[in-house]
Amino acid sequence: MHYLDNAATTPVLPEAAAEAARVMCEEFGNPSSLHKLGIEASRVLENSRKTVAGALGCTAEEITFTSCGTESTNLSLRGAAHLNRHKKGRIITTAIEHAATINTAKALEQDGFTVVFLKPDATGHITPDALSEALTEDTVLLSCQLVNNEIGTVQPVAELGRRLKVACPKALFHIDAVQGLFRVPLEPKKWSCDLMSVSGHKIGAPKGIGALYMKKGLRLPPLMTGGGQERGLRPGTEPMPNIAAFAKACEMRQAGFADDLTQVRGLAAYLREQVAEKLPYAAFNGESDIPHVQNFSVAGCKSEVMLRVLESDEVYVSSGSACSKGKQSEVLRALGLGKDRTDTALRVSFAPFNTEEDVDALIAAIEKGAKMLRR
């Protein structure tokens, strides 16, 4: 098997799975319980929080555990909107965000907020000048991806945050860093960031666990009410096995960050060499700033058909965001690409366990598919 769809999800690291099993079987207490087992579970919870905080460049008290990146994003956008529910100000985001942001912003628009979707330039970047033009004195929130999940562009979040805070000091800045965690160093405090979303299953932790960075001193209303866990922002008994596994994955990826990046850079360079040499009818989309995500179109080969061809050879990639479920990519359309490119796009996303053999298998399978489809 050649798995190259790591932007959708990653295999669970064996060490993370083992930690989840250990906590599930040996430290299964409820961290809210006051007896010994509860106290031991609470210790695991807080140690895990410190580990995840270290990965996000913040303090433990600024971390809230959630079920996923989507929940963290909803908490951020809906919470910021609730704080400004009386003035119904302006929310700024981009046209190339994940569905969690796009659809939440559209829902808030229905609630009376003005929502602006900034368009990227031809390379897939949001320019600071585009933001400056959109800012008004009633702006209450800016939400922007750090790393785009389809084309791998890294947005200039430090400058975007600076311009937001100069023009609208009270506005909140949310960063979707789901694809950025352990792809680039996270520095929310240097980026004027108030809220940041991350997800465990993108880095080798199980599905069903995420985290939200919330700047110290900021208080948001919860989406749910309950027993007051996670300081009341995310009530409900904490999923301790997943939390412990998330922390273990963070620990391992942090330790291997430099080597992992070197490995993935080599794979991305090798992929581009092989595409140039063997697939002259293919064209890369956007300007990927990280090596982990590469997007290219194979002229004359519809994505949905090519994916089936690749699958028959046990090569797994995608045509875009997993959450789009095969719909035409709004990200590529926002770049101004025509139907001939958006209908034939493939997203290859690497993890450190991938090898050049995976790339060779991918290229061979595409060549096989192209012979059948390019007639």
Same domain, 29 and 92: yes
Q: What share of the chain is helix, strand, coil (3-state, %, to 5)?
A: 45, 15, 40
Same domain, 212 and 268: no
User: pLDDT-derived band of residue 287, with 50, 70 and 90 as boundaries?
Assistant: confident
Range of the domain at 147: 14-255
Residue 323: per-residue pLDDT: 54
CATH number at residue 340: 3.90.1150.10
User: pLDDT-derived band of residue 328, with 50, 70 and 90 as boundaries?
Assistant: confident
How many domains does one find in the chain? 2
Residue 326: per-residue pLDDT: 54
Averaged pLDDT of the chain = 95
Residue 339: per-residue pLDDT: 92
Same domain, 93 and 147: yes
Residue 158: per-residue pLDDT: 98
**Mean pLDDT score, 206-223:** 95
CATH number at residue 107: 3.40.640.10
Same domain, 322 and 294: yes
How far is the CA of 230 from the CAs of 20, 57, 64, 211, 223, in angstroms? 20, 19, 6, 11, 13
Q: What is the tens place of the pLDDT at every residue in 138-196?
A: 999 999 999 999 999 999 999 999 999 999 999 999 999 999 999 999 999 999 999 99
Same domain, 84 and 202: yes
Same domain, 264 and 356: yes
Last residue of a domain, one of 204, 236, 255: 255
Catalytic member of 58, 144, 193, 323: 323
Active site residue 323: yes
**Mean pLDDT score, 200-206:** 98
| pLDDT value at 95 more than 70 | yes
| pLDDT value at 375 more than 80 | no
User: pLDDT-derived band of residue 228, with 50, 70 and 90 as boundaries?
Assistant: confident
Same domain, 251 and 278: no
More confident residue, 85 or 15: 15
Last residue of a domain, one of 255, 282, 305: 255
Residue 315: per-residue pLDDT: 98
User: pLDDT-derived band of residue 225, with 50, 70 and 90 as boundaries?
Assistant: confident
Same domain, 133 and 158: yes
Same domain, 318 and 171: no
Q: Give the β-pairing of 172-176 and 114-118.
A: unpaired
Same domain, 204 and 150: yes
Last residue of a domain, one of 255, 290, 309: 255
Same domain, 19 and 105: yes
User: pLDDT-derived band of residue 99, with 50, 70 and 90 as boundaries?
Assistant: very high
- How many CB atoms are closer than 10 A to CB 116? 20
Least confident residue range of 70-79, 286-295, 298-307, 328-337: 328-337
Same domain, 198 and 246: yes
Alpha carbons 216 and 223: distance in angstroms, whole number: 19
| pLDDT value at 235 more than 60 | yes
Residue indicated by tokens 């991918």: 362
**Mean pLDDT score, 121-149:** 96
